[in-house]
Chain A
C-alpha cells in the first residue's frame, strides 16, 4: 500500500541528492542523501526548521546552486531526465517551461522597473511560439484566473502598485503561464497575513489541480502544510528524517523530531500550562555528531543512537522514518 505512489512512474524522482557548500569554515552538507518521489498531480510538503536544507533542495532541482555550493552527487530525474547533469542551456529551457518557482517574497521576485504585462509576456515569449495577440490574451486570462480584476489595465501596472497579496497572485499567474508540470513554492505565504494566506493557498491548490501539475511546497509551517499537501517529507540537518501521507504524519508521526515539531504548536483544544518543547538547538551542520543528528535533543535516544546513523525505513502505515526507536512500533506507549 505504501508503495502505491512509488510504483507509478513518478514525475520527479530525487535520488541520494547531495548539495554541499564549501565554506572557509568547513563543508556545509546542506542536503545530504535526500531521496523522494513525486507523482503527477501530487502536492508534497517539504518541512523543517531553518537550516534544515529544505530551500536548498528546491534550488538544486532548478539548478540554481551557486558556488561555493555544488551538487556533489545523486540524481534529479524529471521524467527520466537527470537535471543534476543537464547543461545550463538545457536548464534554462526547463526553468519556467517545465518547472516553475514561486518565492517567498513577492516584493523581490518581481522586477520593479518592468510592468506586470512585460514580465508575463516574457515568460510566453521565451517558452512558447504564440504570437503577440495570443500571448496578451493568455496573460489577461491568467490574471483573471488568479482573481485579479480589470486584468487588461493591470498589465500596464508596476509591481509597487500592488499589495503583497496581489503581487503573490501575479507571481502565481506568471508561474502557471507556460503550463509547467512541476511548481516549486518556497514559503509562498510566509510574508502574507493570515486572511490573505488562506486565499493564496486555496488559489495555489486550485491552479495546480486545474493544470494537472505537481507541486513541492517548501515551508516551516506545519499548519499550512497540513491543509494543502498530499504527503510530507521532513528534513533535519539536510537529511530526510520522516516521510509519509499527510494524515499519518500529522496524526501519529513516528520520528521524535516530527512529534516534537507538532507538539510545539499550541493546541487550542487541549490547552496545557506548558508547551512541550524540543530541548536545545539544531547542531552546527559543519560539525554533526556521530550517529543520529537528532540524538542530543531526543527524549528517546539510547546508546545505539550515538553509534549508528539510522536509515530511512518503513515504520507504520505510509510512514518511513530514520530512527532506531520510532514512536508507536513495538514496546512503547
Chain B
C-alpha cells in the first residue's frame, strides 16, 4: 500500500543575493566572495498514511512552514523526493502538477491574506474545482460549492458576499471549503488556527476533525502550539533549525520525549494545568542562524547535555522502538543524561 505522502531527504536552501559588499570577506588578507545561503530544511524524511494526521512542531525559523510549502510545490525543493500516493512529483512542472492538486490542498495561516478580496466567496470556493473540471461543468460546480459551504457551517447567502464581510473564524471556514472542493486525500494546514481566538480555534479544530472522519482526510498539520497538536495529531514530528530531531506517536511523545529539545519545548509550554510537568529543562540563548549551521548537532549550542562528540558528529534520526525516533547522541550514551 502506498502512503498518502512520502517525503525523503527533503532539502530546501534559499540563496540570498545581497549586495557585493555584504558578500565580500577577507580570508588571510585575500578578498573572497561568499555565498549567503539559508539552510531552511536539511534532509527531512517522513511519510503520512491515508487518513493520518502528522503534526510538525517547532519554533519560528525551524523550517516547518517551508516543509509544507515545498511539499505543496510552492517552492522547488533543492534536493530530496516528494511522492503523493507513490507518484514522484518532485520535478513536475506547472501543467503536470494540476492533477496532483486534486489530491493535495493547502489551508493557510492568515485567513485575511489567503482569500482574494475581490472575489465572492462562492467563486473562491469554486476556483480549484473549476481548474480541475473545466468551465463546462459550471452548474455542477455551483451545486457542489453550495454543499461545501453548508458543510463548513456557512449558508448559501454567504456565498454572494466578499471575504471582508466575515470574521477570522468564518474566513478560515471558507479556506477549508476551498481546500475540500476537489476531494483531496491530503490537506496541508499551515498554522490554521493560530490567528484565531481560543473559542473560535476550538470550533475550527472540531470542524477539521469531523471532516477528517467524514472524508478520510490525511493532514500535514503545522503548528507551534503543543496543546493544539496534542489534540489533533496521530503522530508528531519535532523540528529544529531545519532538522527533524524527533518523531513519535502522539501519546508517546508527550509521555516520553527523548530529544532534549522536545523535552525543553514540552516543559516551556505554558499550561493552565501545571500539575503535569515533572522535569524542567530550561533553555538559555536563542536559535542559531540558518545562514551558518553549527557543526555536528544542530541543537548543541543550547543543549544542557552537549559534550565534545556533539560538535563533531551530526546525530541522525534513529529508531528507538514503538515508532519513536530521535536524533541525539544521548541515545547511545544514556549515562550522560543527568537531569
Q: Which residues on A are within 8 Å of B, measured CB to CB?
A: 49-50, 163, 165-166, 193-199, 201, 220-224, 226-227, 250, 260-269, 271, 273-279, 281
Interface residues on B, range: 35 or more
Assess whether A261 is in contact with B198, with CB atoms less than 8 Å apart: yes
Assess whether B227 is in contact with A265, with CB atoms less than 8 Å apart: yes
A268-B227 contact in complex given A197-B268, A223-B271, A227-B270, C-beta closer than 8 Å? yes
Query: Is the C-beta of B205 less than 8 angstroms from some C-beta in chain A?
Result: yes
Identify which of B64-72, B142-150, B272-280, B316-324 touches chain A: B272-280
Interface contacts beyond A226-B272, A267-B273, A275-B202: sample of 20 additional A-B pairs, CB < 8 Å, sorted by A:
A49-B199, A165-B286, A193-B60, A194-B270, A197-B268, A197-B270, A223-B272, A227-B274, A260-B199, A261-B199, A265-B198, A266-B230, A268-B227, A268-B271, A269-B273, A273-B209, A277-B203, A278-B203, A279-B203, A281-B170
**How many Å lie between the Cα of A265 and that of B206 in the bound state?**
12
**How many Å lie between the Cα of A265 and that of B199 in the bound state?**
8
Assess whether B273 is in contact with A224, with CB atoms less than 8 Å apart: no
* Best-buried of A166, A198, A275 by chain B (most CB within 10 Å): A275
Assess whether A195 is in contact with B231, with CB atoms less than 8 Å apart: no
For the A-B complex, the count of residue pairs with Cβ-Cβ distances under 8 Å equals 105
Of the candidates A194, A196, A269, the one whose C-beta lies within 8 Å of that of B269 is A194
Listed by A's residue number, 28 A-B pairs whose Cβ atoms lie within 8 Å are A193-B60, A194-B224, A194-B226, A195-B265, A195-B268, A196-B59, A196-B286, A198-B268, A199-B283, A221-B198, A221-B270, A222-B198, A227-B270, A250-B272, A260-B199, A261-B198, A263-B202, A264-B199, A265-B198, A265-B227, A265-B272, A266-B230, A268-B227, A268-B273, A268-B276, A275-B202, A277-B202, A281-B200
Query: Is the C-beta of B112 less than 8 angstroms from some C-beta in chain A?
Result: no
**How many Å lie between the Cα of A222 and that of B274 in the bound state?**
12
**How many Å lie between the Cα of A194 and that of B280 in the bound state?**
14
Assess whether A266 is in contact with B231, with CB atoms less than 8 Å apart: yes
**Contact bitstring B159-173, A, C-beta under 8 A = 1, else 0:** 000000001011000
A266-B199 contact in complex given A194-B59, A194-B265, A227-B270, C-beta closer than 8 Å? no
Assess whether B197 is in contact with A193, with CB atoms less than 8 Å apart: no
When C-beta atoms are compared, the residue in chain B nearest to A263 turns out to be B202
Query: Is the C-beta of B228 less than 8 angstroms from some C-beta in chain A?
Result: yes
* Best-buried of B60, B200, B265, B272 by chain A (most CB within 10 Å): B272
Query: Is the C-beta of B22 less than 8 angstroms from some C-beta in chain A?
Result: no
- How far does the Cβ of B217 sit from chain A's closest Cβ, in whole Å? 16
A193-B228 contact in complex given A264-B199, A281-B169, C-beta closer than 8 Å? no
**How many Å lie between the Cα of A226 and that of B60 in the bound state?**
24
Assess whether B197 is in contact with A50, with CB atoms less than 8 Å apart: yes
Assess whether A224 is in contact with B270, with CB atoms less than 8 Å apart: yes
Q: Which residues on B are within 8 Å of A, measured CB to CB?
A: 59-60, 167, 169-170, 197-203, 205-206, 209, 224, 226-228, 230-231, 254, 264-265, 268-274, 276, 282-284, 286-287
When C-beta atoms are compared, the residue in chain B nearest to A163 turns out to be B286
- How far does the Cβ of A95 sit from chain B's closest Cβ, in whole Å? 29
**How many Å lie between the Cα of A271 and that of B206 in the bound state?**
13
**How many Å lie between the Cα of A268 and that of B272 in the bound state?**
11
When C-beta atoms are compared, the residue in chain A nearest to B289 turns out to be A163
Q: For A269, what are the chain B residues with a Cβ–Cβ distance below 8 Å?
A: 273, 276
Assess whether B270 is in contact with A277, with CB atoms less than 8 Å apart: no
Q: For A267, what are the chain B residues with a Cβ–Cβ distance below 8 Å?
A: 227, 273
A166-B272 contact in complex given A49-B197, A264-B202, C-beta closer than 8 Å? no
When C-beta atoms are compared, the residue in chain A nearest to B210 turns out to be A274
Of the candidates A193, A198, A276, the one whose C-beta lies within 8 Å of that of B224 is A193
Q: For A278, what are the chain B residues with a Cβ–Cβ distance below 8 Å?
A: 199, 202-203
Q: For B199, what are the chain A residues with a Cβ–Cβ distance below 8 Å?
A: 49, 260-261, 264, 277-278
Q: For A273, what are the chain B residues with a Cβ–Cβ distance below 8 Å?
A: 209
When C-beta atoms are compared, the residue in chain A nearest to B62 turns out to be A193
**How many Å lie between the Cα of A243 and that of B226 in the bound state?**
28
**How many Å lie between the Cα of A193 and that of B170 in the bound state?**
27
**How many Å lie between the Cα of A220 and that of B196 in the bound state?**
10
Assess whether B264 is in contact with A195, with CB atoms less than 8 Å apart: yes
* Best-buried of A193, A221, A222, A262 by chain B (most CB within 10 Å): A193
* Best-buried of A197, A263, A265 by chain B (most CB within 10 Å): A265
Q: For B282, what are the chain A residues with a Cβ–Cβ distance below 8 Å?
A: 198-199
**How many Å lie between the Cα of A201 and that of B286 in the bound state?**
16
Which 7 interchain pairs have the tightest Cβ spacing? A266-B231, A193-B59, A278-B199, A223-B270, A277-B202, A264-B202, A49-B197
* Best-buried of B203, B205, B227, B273 by chain A (most CB within 10 Å): B273
Assess whether A281 is in contact with B167, with CB atoms less than 8 Å apart: yes
**How many Å lie between the Cα of A194 and that of B201 in the bound state?**
18
* Best-buried of A220, A263, A268, A279 by chain B (most CB within 10 Å): A268
* Best-buried of B170, B200, B202, B274 by chain A (most CB within 10 Å): B202
A266-B228 contact in complex given A49-B197, A195-B59, A222-B198, C-beta closer than 8 Å? yes
Q: For B265, what are the chain A residues with a Cβ–Cβ distance below 8 Å?
A: 194-195
**How many Å lie between the Cα of A129 and that of B247 in the bound state?**
57
Q: For A224, what are the chain B residues with a Cβ–Cβ distance below 8 Å?
A: 270
Assess whether A274 is in contact with B197, with CB atoms less than 8 Å apart: no
When C-beta atoms are compared, the residue in chain A nearest to B59 turns out to be A193
Assess whether A266 is in contact with B227, with CB atoms less than 8 Å apart: yes
**How many Å lie between the Cα of A278 and that of B198 in the bound state?**
9
**How many Å lie between the Cα of A199 and that of B283 in the bound state?**
8
Q: For A221, what are the chain B residues with a Cβ–Cβ distance below 8 Å?
A: 198, 270
Q: For B228, what are the chain A residues with a Cβ–Cβ distance below 8 Å?
A: 266
Q: For A226, what are the chain B residues with a Cβ–Cβ distance below 8 Å?
A: 270-272, 274
**How many Å lie between the Cα of A264 and that of B225 in the bound state?**
14
Assess whether B276 is in contact with A275, with CB atoms less than 8 Å apart: no
Assess whether B286 is in contact with A166, with CB atoms less than 8 Å apart: yes
